[in-house]
C-alpha cells in the first residue's frame, strides 16, 4: 500500500511543496533524458502555484509555464521542479505520452524545438 494522507494533512503537504517552488521567484520545470542530460528548462510564473487554492483533494495547479527551447537532443525520461535559486524541490517525476506525471504529445526532442506545457498539477495522495 502506498502513501495516503488524511485530507487536511494532504492539503498542507501539497501547499508546503508548492510553496518551496514559489519561494525565490520564478521556479523552473526541467526535463531530462533517463540518463540525466537536461533537455529543456521552462520558466514558471513568479507565483508558480496558488497555495491558497489548495483547499481540497491535495491538488495545486500551476500558473502559466513559459515555453522552453530545447538545448540538447534526446528522449524525455523524467522531469523535476527547482526553485528560482535552482534548489531542488521535486527531484523526479515521470514523463511520457500517457500515464505519467507529465504527459506530453511528443517526448523526443531536437535542439531548438519549442516545448509547451499547457497545464500541470501537483497532487498529494489522500486516503
**pLDDT tens per residue across span 9-41:** 988 898 888 888 888 778 899 999 999 999 999
- Tell me how many degrees the CA angle 89-25-15 measures, rounded to the nearest 5: 50
The cell numbers describing 13, all together, are 503537504
Q: Please report, for the chain, the start and end positions of each structural domain, with discontinuous segments joined by +.
A: 7-122
Residue 42 CA to residue 45 CA, distance in Å, equals: 10
Neighbouring residues of 2: CB distance < 8 A, sequence distance ≥ 6:
125
**pLDDT tens per residue across span 85-123:** 889 999 999 999 999 999 999 999 999 999 999 888 888
- pTM for this prediction: 0.88
**pLDDT tens per residue across span 35-93:** 999 999 999 988 888 766 676 788 888 888 999 999 999 999 999 999 888 899 999 99
Amino acid at each position: 500500500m502506498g502513501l495516503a494522507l488524511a485530507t487536511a494533512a494532504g492539503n498542507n503537504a501539497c501547499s508546503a511543496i508548492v510553496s518551496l517552488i514559489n519561494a525565490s521567484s520564478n521556479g523552473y520545470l526541467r526535463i531530462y533524458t533517463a540518463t540525466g542530460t537536461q533537455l529543456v528548462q521552462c520558466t514558471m510564473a513568479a507565483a508558480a502555484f496558488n497555495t491558497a487554492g489548495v483547499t481540497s483533494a491535495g491538488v495545486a495547479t500551476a500558473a502559466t509555464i513559459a515555453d522552453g527551447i530545447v538545448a540538447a537532443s534526446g528522449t524525455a525520461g523524467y522531469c523535476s521542479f527547482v526553485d528560482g535559486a535552482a534548489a531542488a524541490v521535486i527531484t523526479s517525476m515521470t514523463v511520457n505520452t500517457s500515464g505519467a506525471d507529465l504527459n506530453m504529445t511528443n517526448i523526443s526532442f531536437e535542439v531548438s524545438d519549442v516545448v509547451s506545457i499547457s497545464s500541470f498539477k501537483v497532487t498529494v495522495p489522500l486516503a
